[in-house]
Structure 1
Amino acid sequence: MTPAQCCPPVALLLLVASLPLSHSFLGSPDDHDAVPEEWLLLHVVQGQIGAGNYSYLRLNHDGRIVLHLRSLRGDADLYVSDRTLRPSFDTYKLQSATCGQDVVVVPGDFARPVGIGIYGHPSYLESEFEMRVFLDDTVPRDPFEDGALENEQSQKKSHLTSADDFQEEESIFWTILIGLLKIIVEILV
């Protein structure tokens, strides 16, 4: 056997031997399912998005939310914001724009609703995606965190504001009434 005849099987053997290594490096489709058992799967969203376009979703669920976006075909990217319901690559708070699996953790203290934008990368005519939405309850919630205190303070402020508004309305009422009485007295005199 000549060396030229020997090389192709050796090259094939090396390629086959390196497949498990490259498969684990690149990630397998099953890695998408490899999440902690404590996480609760809330939604699975599948869709297609054209090149340079957005698909928008709204997240209303409270708590720490983990978004797993996997591009099944093409390349879909993920943009998240608690300030706009239409986040983009110009207006976002959190983002993941990889060529593979995109993961974003939405903190529990983000204002709800949270806007989610899925962007179809222009390198592909169309991108197909699957996004899984998980609730991560593994992080214990602190009852004394800033959110609880802010809520209590805002309730007190709203109570004070409504009392102040009432006094202001009462003051305007008396000002108008006294003004009308003065006009009536001037007319009669």
Structure 2
Amino acid sequence: MMRSCSALVLALLALLLSQARGFLGPSEDDGLPEEWVLLHVVQGHIGAGNYSYLRLNHDGRIVLHMQSLKGDADLYVSDKTLRPSYDTYKLQSVTCGPDVVVVPGDFARPVGIGIYGHPSYKESEFEMRVFYDQTVLQDPFEKYTSEDGQKKKKSPEAAEEDFQEEESIFWTILIGLLKIVLEILF
């Protein structure tokens, strides 16, 4: 009982420290671009041959920068499954050193992140920093123009507006027909 309580306290302390680091941002001697904004710091342990899964919901271009503190943890990323593995992934980094994966802004969200503990080590310890890359600015007109140059909305709000416009046209025509029928009858 005492052991589980101390493990819980250590886990909470690690969580608080990672949150504090997230507010401080990357240090100037990290060699990371200033345009990268630190969103999260995730620390964990993974057993040999096991996976730990995370979910990424942030939009935009995201950089996952993972360092194996002990052992060797590998990184698998997918926008098709929330449980990517060495069989099912879109992006990967499986180095013996720092693992870096850049998640493009056009990946469907949520993005699944799989962290794999390499079987060469009984346990791997890792720290992953999640950055938002501000250097990639999206074209503000991208959602509104198609290849032939005509204006075209692609957002979900646009589809809802089109539906409401079609619905209002339908009701306008229906009410007009009802007026004509009523005028003929009375």
TM-score, length of structure 1 as denominator length: 0.63
In structure 2, relative to structure 1, the CA distance for the partners of 1:134 and 1:90 (3 Å cut) is same
Equivalent residue number for residue 52 of structure 1: 49
Look at both structures and tell me which one has the larger radius of gyration over its CA atoms. 1
- With over 3 angstroms needed to count, the CA separation of the structure-2 counterparts of 1:124 and 1:115, relative to structure 1, is same
Counterpart check, 1:131 vs 2:135 = no
Using the alignment, how far apart are the partners of 1:50 and 1:151 within structure 2?
42
**2:95 corresponds to:** 98
- For residues 54 and 118 of structure 1, what CA distance do their matches in structure 2 show? 5
Question: Is 1:117 paired with 2:117?
Answer: no
Measure, in 2, the Cα distance between the counterparts of 1:57 and 1:152: 26
The verdict on how the C-alpha distance between 1:65 and 1:147 changes in structure 2, with shifts beyond 3 A counting, is farther
Residue 35 (structure 1) aligned to one of 32, 35, 39: 32
Post-superposition shift, 1:145?
2.6
Give me the CA root mean square deviation.
2.8
SS at match of 2:163: helix
Answer yes or no: is the 8 Å Cα contact 1:109–1:147 preserved in 2: no
Is the 8 Å Cα contact of residues 79 and 116 (structure 1) preserved in structure 2?
A: yes
Query: In the alignment, which residue of structure 2 is the partner of 1:18?
Result: none
Evaluate the alpha carbon distance shift between residue 62 and residue 147 of structure 1 in structure 2; reply closer, same or farther with a 3 A threshold.
farther
Whole-Å Cα distance in 1 between the matches of residues 28 and 117 of structure 2? 22
- Structure 2 distance, partners of 1:32, 1:111, is 33
In the alignment, the residues of structure 2 paired with residue 110 and residue 144 of structure 1 have an alpha-carbon distance, to the nearest angstrom, of 19
> 1:74·1:127 contact (CA, 8 Å) conserved in 2?
yes
Residue 150 (structure 1) shift: 2.9
Structure 2 gaps of 5+ residues are 1-26, 146-152, 168-186
Over the matched positions of the two proteins, sequence identity in percent amounts to 73
Q: Name the count of aligned residue pairs.
A: 134
Amino acid in the other structure paired with 1:155? A
Q: Would you tell me which structure has more helix in proportion to its own residues?
A: 1
